Amino acid sequence: MVAPKTMSSNGNTQRAPSRMWYAEDERLITKSAAKESMATIESIRRGAGASEPLLELQLFQAMHVCAYWAINGGAGKRTRPPGGMSWAEAWGLIRDDIVKRNLALVYSMVGRFSARDLDREELACEGLFGLSQAVERFDPWRGFRFSTYACHAIHRSMIRASKAATNYRRLFPVQHEEDFEKPAPEGKGEDLFVERLQLVLDGNLASLNHLESDILSKRFPPDRDLRRLTLKQVGAAVGLSKERVRQIQNIALAKLRETLLADPALQ
């Protein structure tokens, strides 16, 4: 689905997130649904925590209503999200709130999941990715519980990451993603890996965005004379939390791994 143009709170034209999706239902287009969604948005904006009695179904229905109006051009002048937000921004606000309310699912599954090639922090990041995808793809109109759907999505995400890590370490025993700053061990295979990795980085063949490239360059400086920054130091430099920097770093490394695994020269 092509993301439509929407108007942001500062008056600039922007595009709704490309991953935005809503499940078709006649209740989406009613005025009462829009008003109920606005009440939900206002509750979240007031700082409602996980303890506030917002029903799961209420949150998801409001999120889908926001997606519908963001994609279909708004709900009229009299029905708009509070605080001057666009419908796309309201969608993101609700999505993030649902993710926060379900973080316990991720950490619960991390404790039960066994993966030889991933530590707990990596599993947690993969679980958060799976949870985010589940939130964005859940259909609230079908009457199923979100927790069941989310647990399957989180588990699948962890399994995919574990398999990818196992395959990667089988092909490349040297953990370059953790030790970019160390000299590569001697050997034709390692030299070829480093050469192809540098080619991927120089040409941005892994499609890293500016923030991902910036974080990797600070975490794994290409010049060995430069000091490697910690996650906390990188976070202070780019204005993000330590955990968010870790998540972006893992996403960027996953892109590099995927690109290298598909490189014919390394097969």
Topology (CATH) of 103-169: Four Helix Bundle (Hemerythrin (Met), subunit A) (1.20.120)
Pairing of the two strands 5-7 and 13-15: antiparallel
Q: Which of 97, 88, 96 is nearest to 65 (CA)?
A: 88
Cα separation, 40 vs 28, in Å, equals 15
pLDDT per position as a tens digit, 194-230 = 677 778 777 788 888 888 888 888 887 766 667 778 8
Helix (H) or strand (E) holding 7: strand 5-7
Residues forming beta bridges with residue 25, ordered by sequence position? none
Per-residue pLDDT of the chain in tens (267 residues, 90 and over written 9):
334 343 343 443 344 444 677 888 887 777 788 888 888 888 888 875 544 556 888 899 899 988 888 888 765 555 677 777 888 888 988 988 898 889 888 888 888 877 666 777 777 888 888 898 899 999 988 888 899 999 999 988 888 877 777 766 665 544 444 444 444 444 445 567 667 777 877 778 888 888 888 888 888 776 666 777 888 888 888 888 888 888 888 888 888 888 877 777 766
Picking from 12, 246, 20, 9, the residue whose alpha carbon sits closest to that of residue 132 is: 20
Q: Which residues contact 35 (CB under 8 A, 6 or more apart)?
A: 79
Look up the pTM and report it.
0.57
Question: 183-266: what fold?
Answer: Arc Repressor Mutant, subunit A (1.10.10)
Token pair in block for residue 189: 């295979």
- The alpha carbon torsion through 248, 252, 253, 257 (nearest 10 deg) reads 150
- The domain ranges of the chain are 5-101, 103-169, 183-266
Contacts of residue 181, Cβ cutoff 8 Å, sequence gap at least 6: 220, 221, 224, 228
